[in-house]
A and B are shown apart, each in its own frame.
Chain A
Amino acid sequence: MTDTAIEVTGLRKTFAGPKGASTEVLRGVDFTVRRGEIFALLGSNGAGKTTIINILSTLLAADGGSATVAGFDVARQAAQVRENISLTGQFAAVDGILTGRENIVLVAKLRDVPEPTKVADALLARFGLTEAANKRAGAYSGGMTRRLDIAMSLVGTPPVIFLDEPTTGLDPEARLEVWKTVKGLADSGVTILLTTQYLDEAEQLADRVAILHGGTIIVNGTLEELKALLPPAKVEYIEKQPTLEDVFLALVGEKEASSDE
């Protein structure tokens, strides 16, 4: 057993566009996620975060580079990768016609988990959905749907979880609910790769942050390391630490300025 949960090297992906045009979304992405950490992939809309998640969850083939998840190659050992992961996509993928409990039981049956009902009840309790267990998931609020979605991802306790923009489209309260859930997950020892376009979300949740911009990872490190990239806090009338937002905007701006030259 190594200490590495996800290893991405030189990952490339180009999408064919209309009229022969093509967009090179990933131009050689490298990063490593250690076992048991929450790793945030930060980037604007269209930066290619979902593309990376789709490649890592074996839904999409890369054009170049390699990636391993839990020690298995995503291209050559897709079946083993799928045994070890769980994907919570950008849009909460729950079946609205089924009840919350039925949704979890369904996933448990598909994953061959013994005693699906017991598993479902435990997860429903853990995510505060016991009361709503027998209601159709279609009637859930945004926050409840996301919690159910994440609960479904935990069935069978996969060691690596992908959370693709887990709070996009949620109201602030539901967002806090999801944050609490994700923090709770990290304590249970799973590895989480999270994508987000919200800087405060990465700041709140992640052990390490990588910024995806222009098809590559432009920085990668702990929050403290990223903050250290900027000049130390200036002591003026009040002391103000740079937030991750400052770091992000400064770095992205610099990169754009240099590529314009």
Chain B
Amino acid sequence: MSKTITLFGRLMKHITRSPDTIITVCITPIGIMLMFVYVMGGAVKTSLPAGMNYVSYLLPGILLITIASGTAYTTVRLFSDVATGLFSRFNSMPIKRSAMLWSHVMTSVVSNLISVVIVILVALTMGFRSSAGPLAWLAVAGLVMLFTLTLTWIAVIPGLVAKTVDGAGVYAYPLIFLPFISSAFVPTATMPAAVRAFAENQPVTSIVNTIRALLMRATIGSEIWVALAWCIGIMAVAYVFAMRIYRRRV
């Protein structure tokens, strides 16, 4: 465990010394948020529940996009450690084999939390308000962390198998776009039947709706269980695959 922390410290130095990774991660979701709120927000508002503030409506989906683009860097960091031979070096030393992998996972969670906090701060300046109490915020943090872990374990796989650094980052694009076909930006009610069916039954919608309900102090329906099931289910599958590849490759 202490070795994992030592290796985690190494990776956090990467983040603090090249803060551009955090900035790059935050800029796209902030840009999307600005565009949707100030360009399309007026038009979208008519289909929102009365009195709903669009920034507040949008934020949960924006946070998921932030995490999806943040975990792309997890893939890149992992890939470069494999490519430079640092994995071989550390794995031929008397430390636990899994320490190196876990240090990447921890770094992913912490750096994504930093990005999420930055995006929330920007949303606050754009008029985001929440009446959620500490418990609801804690639940939001928990769900955000669970989602980060899920995407991180997916991100580990291309990091270990990719042949080039460009290939390593490609997997993240579909994940970044998934929130667009969900309830993240507009209510699903106005979508054509087929799109609506997809939107309402993909993981992002249940996660977005749950976070939104927590922040708005609305009643949290059964969707929280759907959200948890998606996250835990996908994470378990990704974890098993990632570990199998890890044992075989390093």
A residues near B, CB below 8 A?
54, 57-59, 79, 82-83, 85-87, 89-98, 102, 106-107, 109-111, 152
B188 CB-CB contact with A under 8 Å: no
Residue pair A83, B10 in contact (C-beta under 8 Å): no
Does B85 make an interface contact (CB < 8 A)? Answer: yes
Greatest chain A CB density within 10 A among B3, B84, B88, B90 is at B88
Contact (Cβ within 8 A) B93 A91: no
Tell me whether chain B's interface is mostly helix, strand or loop, or mixed. helix
A93/B91 in contact, CB under 8 A: no
Closest residue of chain A to B96 (Cβ to Cβ) is A79
The interface bits of chain B over 6-21 (1 if a CB of A lies within 8 angstroms of the residue's CB, else 0) are 1100100110011000
Given contacts A95-B10, A98-B10, A102-B13, 13 further A-B contacts (CB under 8 A): A57-B88, A85-B92, A86-B92, A86-B93, A89-B85, A90-B85, A93-B85, A93-B89, A95-B86, A96-B84, A106-B10, A110-B3, A111-B93
Do A98 and B85 contact each other (CB < 8 Å), given the known contacts A82-B92, A82-B94? no
Q: Does B236 contact A (CB under 8 A)?
A: no
Q: Does B250 contact A (CB under 8 A)?
A: yes
Min CB distance, B132 to chain A, in Å?
38
Q: Complex: how many Å from CA A83 to CA B93?
A: 7
B245 contact set on A, CB distance < 8 A: none
Question: Ordered nearest first, which 9 A-B pairs have the shortest CB separation?
Answer: A93-B85, A89-B85, A87-B92, A57-B92, A93-B89, A82-B94, A83-B94, A91-B85, A97-B14
Determine the chain A residues whose CB is within 8 A of the CB of B13 once the complex forms. Answer: 97-98, 102
B23 at the interface (CB under 8 A from A): no
Find chain B residues with CB under 8 A from A90 CB. Answer: 85
The residues of A that contact B3 with a CB separation of less than 8 Å are 110
Tell me which residues across on chain A come within 8 A of B6, comparing CB atoms: 106, 109-110
Pair B93/A107 contact, Cβ less than 8 Å: yes
Distance in angstroms from A88 CB to nearest chain B CB is 8
Contact B86 A59 (CB under 8 A): no
Whether A110 and B90, one on each chain, are in contact in the complex, defined by CB atoms closer than 8 angstroms, is yes
- Residue B44 lies at the interface, judged by CB distance under 8 Å to chain A: no
Residues of B within 8 A of A85 (CB): 92
- The answer for the CA separation of A83 and B14 in the assembled complex, in Å, is 28
Chain B residue with Cβ nearest A109: B6
Q: Across the interface, do B92 and A111 meet the contact criterion of CB distance under 8 Å?
A: no
**B121 an interface residue at 8 Å Cβ cutoff?**
no
- List the B side residues contacting A109 at CB < 8 Å: 6
Considering the chains assembled together, what is the distance between the CA atoms of A232 and B94 in angstroms? 48
| 18 A-B pairs in the complex with CB atoms less than 8 angstroms apart | A59-B91, A86-B93, A87-B88, A89-B89, A90-B85, A92-B84, A93-B85, A93-B88, A93-B89, A97-B13, A97-B18, A98-B10, A98-B13, A106-B6, A106-B10, A110-B6, A110-B93, A111-B93
Closest chain B residue, CB of each to CB of A57: B92
**CA of A91 to CA of B89, assembled, Å:** 10
Do B89 and A87 touch across chains, with their CB atoms under 8 A apart?
Answer: yes
| Chain A contacts for B94, CB-based, 8 A | 79, 82-83, 111
When the two chains form their complex, are residues A93 and B86 in contact, meaning their CB atoms are under 8 A apart?
Answer: yes
